């Protein structure tokens, strides 16, 4: 059965663990930071109920410890009681399945929740509120139960230097494979000298043992990694020079054939088996394809066509990545037949079509070869990219005066580009949307016709504006551009609102 990735609001396992450590810290400022992180997660998407319950209880402990002015004991009792009631209800409701509803006590016993939590919930709902000391103790024990019931089971600790460890372990495996290949090349099984034959056999056995030990070390490391590590730590290492792309130039693929040497494929069969056994073929190979396409086709949306920085990769490095794409598609993508495909190529196609370059054109040709059913649909794009590349090359040659520029009409290319963009939008949908960062006063006619006098008085600083490219950095949804978590709690002026005492 195919394993589909689950969408979560945290960007990495490290961020998830940092939130858990902060929420269970004895430092109040750290707990407040953990609460702020989860509030940012709520802005990104749905948060699991166990995390919601943890945050509610931790925030209640923070509020109690700070002892804000004007909060009475009665109010604290009600706040604690509400947090505990919602904690029990939210956790237990997850187990409410079937046609007929079961009692809260029965469901709580099924998941290992102490029965006195249910009794406390009943007392806070229908009877006299328990004492503040009892509620404080219950809140602390509920947090401990959530840590054992949820957090400790979900968190798989990654070492701080995961990328370095992945790189080191894979490099040791490749080194062991190279040593074994050298022993095999010098091995003479039909040697007439028994001593020489025994020495070669011992060397081959030692090389095999080294490869097995390196494979076991890689499997042990992979077993400790979360699925997020595929995208964050494993795949970035694999596409670097010295791994899937060998350091030795003679082992790299060449354009236009882009065929991998058999020795290179054999060397990577064991690591691929380890990765797919841990994470599944779909997840691993689709992440690997996405990283390769991203390396081959940088975003060129704000540049001229084909000005996408192809110089970032050497020609043989790119050819080897294209060859690996061919190998993955041939072995794990089936356009027809009884075997269902294990990888999807929709993201691959969109990345190549939206960022045209020489490398993306080669990837499209590979897809056409692997899946003949797409050949007719991709042929216009491939031909257009070829024409545009020829025109771009001819323009450079015309500047240097080495050759005369061929008769390629710029207007014809622009018309063909517009046609390709329409077809591209039909296949994948429009990639451009109207921006909110519109200069409302850029046109005098628009300002007088569509804007009221009040809008015309808006100061430039109060309107939406673009962040300078030099200072802009990518950041998760719910965070500021500098990576900090914004304050999402109620404004400070509400603390001065008069409180009604019980």
* Digit-coded pLDDT (tens) for 147-171: 888 887 775 555 556 888 899 999 9
pLDDT (average), residues 185-194 = 62
Residues above pLDDT 90, as percent of the chain: 20
Q: Is the pLDDT of residue 441 over 70?
A: no
DSSP SS3 for 126? helix
Residue 475 burial (CB count, 10 A): 13
Residues above pLDDT 70, as percent of the chain: 70
- State pTM to two decimals: 0.54
Q: Which two tokens stand for residue 221?
A: 């490391």
Torsion angles phi and psi, residue 160, rounded to 5: -65, -30
- Angle at CA 45, nearest 5°, toward 223 and 83? 95
The average confidence (pLDDT) of the chain is 77
Q: Is the pLDDT of residue 302 over 70?
A: no
* Digit-coded pLDDT (tens) for 328-383: 999 988 654 556 788 888 888 888 888 888 888 889 999 998 888 888 888 888 88
pLDDT at 194: 62
Most confident of 121-125, 157-161, 287-291: 287-291
Q: Is the pLDDT of residue 413 over 90?
A: no
pLDDT (average), residues 393-422 = 59
Q: Residue 227: which of 158, 149, 146 has the closest Cα? A: 158
Residue where the block lists tokens 């490290």:
14
pLDDT (average), residues 104-123 = 83
Asked if 219 contacts 189 with a C-beta cutoff of 8 angstroms, the reply is no
pLDDT at 69: 55
Q: Which two tokens stand for residue 442?
A: 């850029």
């Amino acid at each position: 059965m195919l394993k589909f990735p689950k969408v979560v609001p945290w960007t990495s396992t490290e961020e998830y663990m940092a939130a858990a450590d902060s929420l269970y810290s004895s430092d109040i400022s750290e707990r407040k930071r953990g609460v702020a992180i989860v509030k940012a997660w709520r802005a990104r998407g749905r948060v699991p109920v166990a995390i919601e319950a943890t945050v509610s209880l931790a925030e209640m402990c923070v509020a109690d410890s700070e002892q804000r002015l004007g909060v009475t004991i009665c109010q604290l009792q009600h706040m604690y009681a509400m947090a505990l009631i919602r904690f029990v209800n939210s956790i237990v409701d997850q187990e409410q399945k079937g046609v007929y509803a079961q009692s809260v006590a029965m469901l709580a016993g099924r998941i290992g929740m102490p029965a006195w939590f249910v009794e406390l919930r009943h007392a806070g709902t229908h009877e006299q509120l328990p004492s503040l000391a009892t509620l404080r103790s219950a809140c602390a024990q509920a947090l401990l139960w959530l840590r054992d019931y949820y957090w400790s089971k979900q968190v798989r600790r990654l070492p701080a230097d995961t990328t370095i460890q992945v790189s080191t372990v894979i490099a040791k495996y490749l080194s062991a494979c190279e040593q074994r290949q050298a022993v095999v090349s010098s091995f003479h099984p039909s040697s007439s000298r028994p001593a020489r034959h025994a020495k070669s056999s011992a060397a081959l056995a030692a090389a095999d043992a080294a490869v097995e030990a390196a494979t076991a070390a890689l499997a042990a490391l992979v077993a400790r990694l979360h699925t997020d590590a595929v995208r964050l730590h494993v795949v970035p290492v694999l596409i670097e020079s010295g791994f899937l792309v060998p350091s030795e130039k003679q082992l790299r693929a060449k354009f236009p054939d882009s065929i991998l040497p058999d020795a290179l494929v054999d060397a990577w069969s064991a690591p691929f088996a380890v990765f797919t056994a841990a994470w599944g073929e779909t997840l691993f190979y689709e992440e690997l394809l996405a990283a390769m396409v991203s390396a081959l086709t940088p975003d060129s949306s704000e540049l001229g066509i084909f000005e996408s920085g192809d110089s970032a990769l050497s020609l043989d490095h790119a050819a080897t990545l294209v060859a690996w794409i061919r190998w993955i598609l041939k072995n794990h993508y089936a356009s027809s037949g009884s075997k269902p495909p294990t990888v999807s190529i929709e993201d691959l196609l969109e990345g190549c079509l939206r960022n045209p370059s020489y490398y993306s054109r080669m990837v499209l040709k590979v897809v056409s070869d692997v899946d003949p059913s797409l050949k007719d649909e991709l042929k216009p794009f491939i031909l257009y990219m070829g024409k545009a590349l020829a025109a771009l090359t001819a323009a450079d040659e015309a500047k240097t005066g080495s050759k005369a520029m061929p008769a390629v009409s710029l207007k014809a290319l622009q018309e063909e580009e517009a046609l390709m963009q329409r077809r591209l939008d039909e296949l994948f949908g429009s990639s451009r949307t109207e921006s909110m960062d519109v200069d409302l006063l850029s046109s005098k006619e628009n300002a007088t016709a569509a804007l009221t006098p009040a809008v015309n008085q808006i100061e430039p600083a109060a309107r939406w504006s673009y962040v300078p490219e030099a200072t802009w950095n990518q950041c998760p949804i719910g965070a500021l551009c500098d990576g900090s978590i914004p304050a999402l709690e109620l404004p400070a002026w509400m603390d001065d609102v008069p409180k009604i005492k019980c």
